[in-house]
Amino acid sequence: MRMNADRFTVSAEEYLAESSALFYLNDAVTQLLEHREEFIQFGIGRYFAEYFTSVKNGSHILFREFSYVKGTAHNRTSFIHIFWKCFRQIGKNRDLLTMMEYTSLLQLLCPDFPAEMLQNTAKIVLMEDAVDCPMSLSDFIYSFQIQFYFEEFLESVLVIYEDLLEGKNPNAVIVPTSESPETISSEETDVQEGVDSSVLLKCIEGLCERFKHKHPPLPAIKEALESCTRVSYYGFLMALAKHEGISQEIGALPNRSDLLIDPEMDQELERLVAQVAISPTSNSSSSAQGLKEPCRKPSPRKSLHQRKRIEMESDGSTEETDSSEN
Residue ranges that bind other proteins, judged by CB under 8 A: 1-3, 5, 7-8, 12, 15-16, 19-21, 24-25, 29, 31-38, 40-41, 43-46, 48-56, 59-60, 62-64, 74
Residue closer to other proteins by CB (options 30, 177) is 30
Closest separation in Å from C-beta 106 to other proteins = 16
Closest separation in Å from C-beta 49 to other proteins = 4
Closest CA to 293 of 50, 93, 119: 93
Closest separation in Å from C-beta 250 to other proteins = 17
Residue closer to other proteins by CB (options 5, 130) is 5
Residue closer to other proteins by CB (options 52, 66) is 52
Residue closer to other proteins by CB (options 2, 212) is 2
Closest separation in Å from C-beta 80 to other proteins = 17
Residue closer to other proteins by CB (options 164, 252) is 252
Using alpha carbons, list the distances in angstroms from residue 41 to 25, 32, 38, 48.
20, 12, 6, 13
Name the CA dihedral angle for 121, 127, 128, 131, rounded to a multiple of 10 degrees: -70
Closest separation in Å from C-beta 13 to other proteins = 9
